[in-house]
Structures are given as structure tokens and as C-alpha cells.
Chains A and B, each alone.
Chain A
Amino acid sequence: MEDIHIEGVHEAYFTPTVNFEVATGNCEIAGESYLEETSKFYSKLLDWIRKYTTTIKGPLNFDFKLSYFNTSSSKCLVDILDLLKKYQNDGGKVTVNWYYDDSEEELEEVEDFILETGLEINKIPME
């Protein structure tokens, strides 16, 4: 199983920076997410998580540091959180940190992700 490293790009579409590490279970999704083929992009990440949680079965530490994501991306982010919740229910060790831009609205959005998925998420204001 291999790491995922994707360099964030801000062009007409915005690709987030992604770093998923097999050895440590440290995973980061950062930057901006507005993609031409949102499901296709995120399905690679979902596959990685599925593989990691069924073969490596180590801890997962997720850092979400997104300054912008559109509504299509938000659906895929919920899919990721669902997988993490499932892994946790099956006994996996999962930590999720969500860095939010210091605004009421974004805090509400993280709270809604928590309600929507039942996953515990640490809410951390972005520097």
C-alpha cells in the first residue's frame, strides 16, 4: 500500500493538497476543493481509507484544513467522515481535527458534520 501525495493547485479548478501516510496513519486534506470531477477525485481517497482500515488497521489521524470547499466536495467529505466513523465503530483508533476559518458559519458547518456523521471532531480555529 502506498502513500497519497497530491499537490494543491489553484487554477480554474481548485485541487486540495492531500497527504495520506501509510506508516503513521497521518492524513491531511488542505487548501481549496472545487473540482471538475469531484467524485472521481475523492473516490481515490475513499479507496485508500478502505484499504488502510481493512489491511493495515493502524490508527488514523485526520487533519482537515480547508479554506474553501463547494457543496459537491462537502458530500464527499461526509463520505470520508462516514468511513472514519465506521472504522471507529469497528474498534479502529481515529482522531479528526477540523481547522476552520474563524467564522460562525464555518463553525456551524463543522457542527453539522458532527451531527450528520456521529463522529467526534475536534474544532480548531485556523491561524
Chain B
Amino acid sequence: MEKIDDKYDFSLYEYHNLLQQNILVSYKGPIDERIMNVIGENIELVTNDGNDKAKSKIFKIFMELAQNVWLYSAESLSTASGRKLGMGTLVIGEFGDAYTFVTGNVVRNTDIEPVIEKCEIINSLDRDSLREYRREQRRLAGTKKNSGNIGLIQVALTAESPLDIELTPVSDEESFFSIAVKIKKTGR
């Protein structure tokens, strides 16, 4: 059989197998509203084990986190019409009584520090304080352009779980940043 020499530097079969384990949806590439729309509908299809509340939670979380990748990824594509599409990875997994939703993208180290601080604040607050924080930040956001921060508070409130963040350096200036959240199938 004909072989293409530099097809991949990894085995697609191994990659496929890796994704077989508990993974319902995975996507890597540019993100915009059309791709979000397609993946959003996929989520609806694959999360059949959860109740309707769990489904709507995953959808809400997906919308906020995918939007963040689109807008804030340090890796991006520009379309012919000049739009910038952030690149990143989205994975939805199923583990026992919960779904996990993970997004990851490359970030500039200087940009990510305030985001990490924000995540640490979010994780340190109980639910009532987190709701108060959302109210406060929503007021502030009216005067600022950056709305990504309310998105993260919303994600933590919707998931009812902490934001599991990870930062892996890829160069002196950049790191791979990921956020994972867990959503119980029996959402309340």
C-alpha cells in the first residue's frame, strides 16, 4: 500500500483509541459562532444520560468557555474578511455520574495572570459569595469591555464545581492554559 511519508508524526489509530475512553465530543481548531453552533447541537445529542438540567448546564458552560477560546486564544486564524478566529481544544467527557468539560488554548503568559487570579478568587468563594461576586462584576463590566470574567464566574455557578485550571509552559512567552469543570448528570 502507498504510504505518505510525513503524514502524521503520531498514530491516528492511537489518537482515536485515546479519545474512545469516556470522550463524547472532542474538537481542535479554530472557533467561531458557526462551529460553536455545530458543537452545541452535538452536545445535545451525546449527553443523553443526563437530565435536562444537566444538558442545559453543559450547554451554558460550553457557550461561555468556547467563546473565551475564540476571543482570547494566542493562536488564531484570520479569515479573508479579516475576522480573527481563536484556536483551541474542547473536550466533553463522561465519567460515571458526571460530565467533564475541558477547554484549552495557548495564551501569552502576561495575559493569563489576571485570569488565573480570577479563577483562584472564584475557587475560594462559597456559593453565596460567588453570587455576590457575579453581581459586583456585572456592575463593573458595564463600564469595561472585557466580559470574559463574568463568564468564568457563571461557569463555576452553573457547574457547581471549582474551575480546575492548569498552565503548561510552551515557551518563554506562552503557555497552554486549560480549564476543566465537572457537571453532575443529576443537575438540580
A34 to B, closest residue via Cβ: B63
What are 28 residue pairs bridging A and B, where the CB atoms are less than 8 Å apart in the complex? A12-B34, A12-B36, A13-B33, A68-B56, A68-B59, A70-B60, A70-B64, A70-B67, A71-B138, A71-B147, A74-B138, A74-B150, A75-B138, A75-B141, A75-B147, A78-B139, A101-B56, A103-B53, A103-B188, A104-B188, A105-B53, A105-B157, A105-B160, A105-B188, A108-B157, A112-B131, A112-B135, A116-B138
Is there a chain A Cβ closer than 8 Å to B142's Cβ?
yes
CA distance A103 to B53 in the complex (A): 7
Known: A36-B33, A68-B56, A68-B60. A78 touches B157 (CB 8 A): no
Chain A to chain B: the 7 pairs with minimum beta-carbon distance, closest first: A12-B33, A12-B37, A71-B150, A104-B188, A116-B135, A12-B34, A103-B53
- Chain B: interface residue total (CB-CB under 8 A): 28
CA distance A78 to B150 in the complex (A): 14
CA distance A79 to B63 in the complex (A): 22
Binding site for A on B (CB under 8 A): 33-34, 36-37, 53, 56-57, 59-60, 63-64, 67, 131, 134-135, 138-139, 141-142, 147, 150-151, 154, 157-158, 160, 187-188
Is there a chain B Cβ closer than 8 Å to A1's Cβ?
no
A: interface residue count bin: 20 to 34
B142 touches A71 (CB 8 A): no
Is there a chain B Cβ closer than 8 Å to A11's Cβ?
yes
Q: Which B residues are in CB contact (< 8 Å) with A89?
A: none
Q: Which A residues are in CB contact (< 8 Å) with B57?
A: 105
B53 to A, closest residue via Cβ: A103
Majority secondary structure of chain A interface residues (helix, strand, loop or mixed):
helix
Q: Which A residues are in CB contact (< 8 Å) with B158?
A: 105
Q: How far is the CB of B121 from chain A (nearest CB, A)?
A: 17
CA distance A68 to B64 in the complex (A): 12
Q: Which A residues are in CB contact (< 8 Å) with B53?
A: 103, 105
Apart from A68-B60, A71-B151, A74-B154, 8 more pairs, CB < 8 Å: A12-B34, A12-B36, A12-B37, A75-B147, A105-B187, A108-B157, A112-B135, A116-B139
Quick one: which of B36, B64, B187 contacts A103, CB cutoff 8 A? B187
B158 to A, closest residue via Cβ: A105
B64 touches A11 (CB 8 A): no
A105 to B, closest residue via Cβ: B158
Is there a chain B Cβ closer than 8 Å to A122's Cβ?
no
Quick one: which of B63, B142, B157, B187 contacts A75, CB cutoff 8 A? B142
B35 to A, closest residue via Cβ: A12
Q: How far is the CB of A114 from chain B (nearest CB, A)?
A: 10
CA distance A70 to B59 in the complex (A): 10
Is there a chain B Cβ closer than 8 Å to A43's Cβ?
no
B37 touches A11 (CB 8 A): yes
